Structure 1
Amino acid sequence: MVLAKNLKHLRTASQMTQAELADKLGLQRTMISAYEDGRSEPKLQTLGVLAGLFQSSVDELLYHDIQALGRKAQQSKQIKVLAITVDSEDREQIPMVPQKASAGYLNGFADPEFVESLPQFSLPNLSTHATYRAFELSGDSMLPLVSGTVVIGSYVEQLTQIKSGKTYVLVTVTEGVVYKRVFNYLEENGKLFLVSDNEHYKPYEVKGEDVLEIWEAKAYISTDFPSPKDKAQPATLEDISQMILDLKSEILRLKY
């Protein structure tokens, strides 16, 4: 068990002293010290209170090395309450986040007034059972989709719904707004691996806890027509399979 290590890590990450944690639990400070040193273990009731206090699960506290592997995704964890806009006939619209508005979106994505200030449009042939948002791409990491392409994404409510190998627009604390092919390793180490279709860009990881919003790509709008002579092509199934193998090897390397 890694309980002692987890308790100390979560307490210090929350900028909480041993005395403050003891007050919340109705215990002496020396008992918290004993928990963190591994000299004593909390009773089941206290363990449940600790799990709620640190937004964790008892299983994660007891068996998952949070400091080394990151937080595990909880099955019920939802990303954020979603701000939406509708037209005069109460039909939901698609707000578009231009490249220049990406930085502001990090602060305003949950603000209905900010979302309402974005350009709005609607598209036919999209399911009416989902909420959509459009993002203007920047750069060439996802060729053949070029800079300026608008990707329309469907809102993903839970992190556990992310399907490995599919493309998503992610709004994250660490990377801002990005469009990538995502591989879901939340259960293994609490992280997502983000892969570019352009092989010149290296994949990287993002902690699940750093994801603010995620949108599964459903359509795109572009004024650029890809040429069959273009060297950069979308990733094939073989490419994706190799990516998965490479990423699994990287996970094993990070664990040990």
Structure 2
Amino acid sequence: MTSQKIFFCSNLKFLRERKKISQEALAEKLHITRSKLNALENGQTKAPQPADYLAVSEYFRISIDSLLKVDLPKLGELHLRELEAGNDVYLKGSNLRILAITVNKSNQENVEYVPVKAKAGYAAGYNDPEFIASLPRYHIPNLPKNKTFRIFPTTGDSMLPFPEGTDIVAEYLQDWTSLKPGTPCIVLLKSDGHDLLFKLLTYQKKENHFLLRSLNHLYAPYTVPAEEILEIWKYHSHHTRQLPESTPLHQVMTAIAAMQEEIRELKRS
């Protein structure tokens, strides 16, 4: 029987250096001596204690299985960020969600554009590298680093006051539970024709549901279970060729009052 290679030692050193923390500081957090940590990192301890595995796993939020079986330095940046966000296949018991992206010649992430004609196929190809590679790609200066962005054009009147055809620049969201109430987002649902919707999202932790509210107050809000959502992209900015139309003050005040009441109901639940 061929023995499986164990990556714990190299992974421990890699994670510490990735977090930019010294051996002294990490040893203190793990409640071990620096000499023991150094021995663990350099493979000088042939049989680490179970408590050592547990301490490292809990600190870095990565399962023991991944620490032992996965060569972490060989993973891509997005994969690593998924793991660090808690999306570990061994912790979650489900398939690890890896976002398909493209990069330029300098190995920098592109900002893919999802044109209207490609929206129908996005639900089927959103995680297909070939489909993503077929989308138009751009570089937008001054976007935050180490984040993934995509551009989605708006359609229909449910997104008013944004005129139809406005390009929404949105950031890929890994931790859905971190959303603040009423955050504007592009959301991809399993149902609803696999459409891309632009809504104000509020996470309802107790029910594990999301409240979706349209920017156009004529559309009634509704809730969907979290498991019905495929992707969430948080609004960053928008681009349009049209000048914004003035909105009656009473409509603005009505929308604000509705959102305030919604937040009060969430606090009471």
- Structure 1 236/200 Cα, relative in aligned 2: closer, same or farther at 3 Å? closer
Contact 1:155 1:216 in 2 (8 A): yes
Contact 1:168 1:216 in 2 (8 A): yes
**Superposed CA RMSD:** 2.5
Contact 2:112 2:135 in 1 (8 A): yes
Is residue 209 from structure 1 mapped to residue 227 from structure 2 by the alignment?
yes
User: Equivalences for 1:1-256 in 2 at 5 Å?
Assistant: 76=86, 80-175=97-192, 176-185=195-204, 187-228=205-246, 237-245=256-264
Tell me which of the two structures has the higher relative contact order, counting C-alpha pairs closer than 8 angstroms and 6 or more residues apart: 1
Q: CA deviation at 1:227?
A: 2.7
Secondary structure of the 1:189 match is coil
Secondary structure of the 2:130 match is helix
Matched positions, count: 175
- Residue 31 of structure 2: aligned partner: none
Taking the aligned partners of 2:266 and 2:157, their CA distance within structure 1 comes to 22
Secondary structure of the 2:234 match is strand
* Residue type of the alignment partner of 1:228: S
Q: CA deviation at 1:110?
A: 0.4
Q: Which runs of 5+ in 1 are unaligned?
A: 1-74
Q: Which runs of 5+ in 2 are unaligned?
A: 1-84, 89-95
Q: CA deviation at 1:201?
A: 0.4
Taking the aligned partners of 2:125 and 2:253, their CA distance within structure 1 comes to 32
Taking the aligned partners of 1:247 and 1:140, their CA distance within structure 2 comes to 28
Taking the aligned partners of 2:215 and 2:124, their CA distance within structure 1 comes to 28
Q: Percent identity?
A: 32
Taking the aligned partners of 1:137 and 1:179, their CA distance within structure 2 comes to 8
TM-score if structure 1 supplies the norm length?
A: 0.62
Secondary structure of the 1:188 match is coil
Secondary structure of the 1:107 match is helix
- Residue 3 of structure 1: aligned partner: none
Contact 1:155 1:214 in 2 (8 A): yes
* Residue type of the alignment partner of 1:128: K
* Residue type of the alignment partner of 2:202: F
Contact 1:153 1:168 in 2 (8 A): yes
Write out per-residue CA displacement over residues 13-44 of structure 1, whole angstroms, 9 at most, x where no aligned residue. Answer: xxxxxxxxxxxxxxxxxxxxxxxxxxxxxxxx
Secondary structure of the 1:160 match is helix
TM-score if structure 2 supplies the norm length?
A: 0.59
Write out per-residue CA displacement over residues 174-194 of structure 1, whole angstroms, 9 at most, x where no aligned residue. Answer: 132111001110x21111010
Taking the aligned partners of 1:198 and 1:77, their CA distance within structure 2 comes to 34
* Residue type of the alignment partner of 2:177: T
Give the ranges of 4+ consecutive aligned residues of structure 1 lying more than 6 Å apart after TM superposition.
246-249
Taking the aligned partners of 2:256 and 2:122, their CA distance within structure 1 comes to 33
